[in-house]
Amino acid sequence: MQVQTEERGGVSILALTGRMDATTANVFEEACRALLNAGAKKIVVDLGGIEYISSAGLRVILTMVKASKGTAATLAFCSMQTMVAEVFRISGFSSMLPVYATRDEAVGALS
């Protein structure tokens, strides 16, 4: 998995590409922790480039949501491909986490 970081109007954006599974989820965790440790308070996770997410990926997302609450930061998710959106829906993540159709909507909601 690859991660690109961008800043837009006080919102940090993590754009992920590839697969989020047991062998790659730590890449997301490290990038997200680095933003939180640097003091980021608004983070959008763009999942548009993620073609597959496993339970290990979901577990890391949940870990990072909990870590963000500990630092008074907000995480929002956006741009999910159909399979990833379905996994979020089935797992209940889409009802308990802020999920947006596009990156612009997510950034706008956190701005």
Contact 15, 48 (CB under 8 A): yes
CATH number at residue 53: 3.30.750.24
Whole-prediction pTM value?
Answer: 0.95
Q: How many domains does the chain have?
A: 1
Check residue 42 and give its pLDDT: 98
Check residue 6 and give its pLDDT: 96
DSSP 8-class letter at 18: E
Check residue 8 and give its pLDDT: 95
- With tokens 């993620």, the residue in question is 50
* Angle between the N-to-C axes of helices 55-70 and 25-37, in degrees from 0 to 180, rounded to the nearest 10: 10
Q: How far is CA 108 from the centre of its chain?
A: 16
Q: Partners of 5 in the beta sheet?
A: 14
Query: Residue 64's domain spans which residues?
Result: 2-110
pLDDT tens for 40-94 read 999 999 999 999 999 999 999 999 999 999 999 999 999 999 999 999 999 999 9
pLDDT tens for 90-110 read 999 999 999 999 999 999 999
Confidence of residue 14 (pLDDT cuts 50, 70, 90): very high
Check residue 56 and give its pLDDT: 95
Check residue 103 and give its pLDDT: 97
